Each structure stands twice: as C-alpha cells, then as structure tokens.
Amino acid sequence: HLFLKTGDLGFLEEGELAICGRQKDLIVIHGQNYLPADLEAAAARAAELDVNGVVAFSVEGQGEEQAVILYEVRRSSQKEDRLSELGEMVEAAILREFQLPLAACYGVKAPALPRTSSGKIRRQESHRAYLENKLPLLTTQGLGSIAVPQSDEELATFLRDELERVLGRVLGPGDLNRGFFDLGLSSLTAMELKAKLEKRLRVELPKTLIFDSPHLEALTTHLQETLFKKTEDEIDAKLAELEQFLGDPET
C-alpha cells in the first residue's frame, strides 16, 4: 500500500475514514491531545455562539503550551456585563468537559476572525493575528487585563468572592474554617478555583494548593504571605538605600 502524509488527522469508524482536523492545529498540553474543533464546539454550545465564529489554539506561556479561545461577538452582545458572562461560560465549559484551564478567553468583534473564501475560520492566521495584537479584542477574560488585589483586605474579599462563584452559593461566617471539600468543592471545581486565582493574581500556583491550604482562612493567609509579605533581607535593603540617600549631602 502507498501512504501519503497529508497532515490530516482522522479515525476509522465502521471501516470508513473520518477526517477530524489538521495535525498542525492539534493542541498538545501536558502530553494530552485536544482537537481544536472539540474545544470550539463546546464553547459554542455553552455560550450559544456560532461555532463558525470560534477558534481554539495554543500559545507558549510560563514555559509550557497553554490553550486560548477566541469567539466572535455580535454588536448586540458587546455590553460589558454580557461579555463577562460569555467569557465565564466558555471557560467553565472547557474546564468541565476537558479539565483544561484556559490561559485566555477573548471575544472579538464579528466578523474579525480570518476566514477562507468559503467562510471557514483560518486557525493559523487567527493564531498569528492574536500574537501580533491585530484582532479587536473585547472581553476582559485574559491574563494582564484584570486588576490584581493590592492589599490583604482586597485579596481576602477576592478569594471569598471567587469561592462563592465556584460553589454557587454565599458563604456564612462559620465557613471560613470549613474544609473546601466539606463545603462542596470537587476535584474539578478545585481545579477551576486554582485556574481563576492564577489568572487574576498573575502567578503560577502549586498543583497541591487546595490540599496544602484546605480552607479559606488558610488559603488567604498563604497567599497574603506569598504576594505581600516582604522578607527581612528586602526590608533591610530598602532601609540601607534610604539611609544612604538621607546621608548623602549632594542628594
């Protein structure tokens, strides 16, 4: 038999070959293969989007490949509250169906995504346009676009709000020291919470974060120390700089 390498991906079903994508478009994260079409279809279903207006690809970030989804948004849905809702629905759907946190999830003005003459999305061109900042991004669902909490109080409020969103209910005073899994967190929602924290705080958190800090109070304390607490060496260095400045008559 003669086989030609076409770059297509496919599988046999009942003796027939089904083409399911292109090898160059395949998303590989932590050794797991993801078909862009599967991610795009899940995003479209979750947010009631046109599947031909959604594109998925990977980018390099934090030393590894990470998934990105872009989706076209009609003018009627470009209000800030609706944009935020769409982004959250897409991210939650991808995490729920594929256990895959997204590095970024952006809406773009329709019909901004590159297309073929027949109207199909060009994934590789969309990827390049995204990296070159040539797309009219709309939503705030991405690293670097959301304000990072600047104080212990802001961080504590943010953590509580995010946990309530993931759990889908309001926490009571007695819940601060209750274990996350006692509150109803599952392994999947724990992954969702960790992904949200990494995105908002712009840090890479350990995979065992929820187990190492098993309740809200412990998690808050851990992140406060990680993000805000200066080491003694840093403080001494700042004091030395200040003393040198004050002691220099020419300054």
Strand boundaries in 62-183, DSSP class E: 64-73, 102-109
- Contact between 105 and 69 (Cβ < 8 Å): yes
Fill in the DSSP letter of residue 124: H
Task: Give the chain's domains with CATH numbers.
Answer: 23-131 (3.30.300.30), 152-227 (1.10.1200.10)
- Higher local confidence (pLDDT), 195 or 37: 37
Partner residues linked to 61 by β-bridges: 64
What mean pLDDT comes out for the span 51-70?
Answer: 89
What's the pLDDT band for 58 if we cut at 50, 70, 90? very high
Tokens 């003694």 belong to 232
Mean of all residue pLDDT scores within the chain: 82
- Higher local confidence (pLDDT), 108 or 195: 108
CA 208 – CA 212 distance, rounded (Å): 6
Model confidence pLDDT, tens digit, residues 81-104? 778 888 888 988 998 888 888 888
